[in-house]
Amino acid sequence: MITLNHFLTLGAILFCIGLFGALSKRNIIAIMMFLELMTNAVNLSLISFSKYITPITIRGQIFAIFVMVVTAAEIGLGLAIVLCIYRSRETTQIDEVNLLKW
């Protein structure tokens, strides 16, 4: 029997993997993918809360749909900035983008 706890544990693990990847990867595109993973982990928690705790009002599912839209916009904007950097720098490695310090 799969309970709410299973979903929440999966969500928490995915969130941690996403956070670790976003902080440790060098490639900007990979960082963006891990950011997506973090958001989707939260979405999973939201939807399972919605299913188990408020099955009638489904607020969590509506919340998750809004979160998806916002994330799509964020990643789109992020890729636009990456393109902008790539055109002048020919790199997608985050540690080679280092003009601003302290």
Closest CA to 75 of 44, 25, 20, 37: 37
Q: Per CB under 8 A, does 85 bind other proteins? A: yes
Q: How many residues bind other proteins (CB under 8 A)?
A: 43
Q: Per CB under 8 A, does 17 bind other proteins? A: no
Q: Is the separation of the CB atoms in 33 and 100 below 8 Å?
A: no
Q: Per CB under 8 A, does 29 bind other proteins? A: no
Contacts of residue 53, defined as CB under 8 A and 6 or more positions apart, other chains included, come to: 4, 60
Site for other proteins in 35-54 (CB under 8 A): 35, 38-39, 41-42, 45-46, 49, 53-54
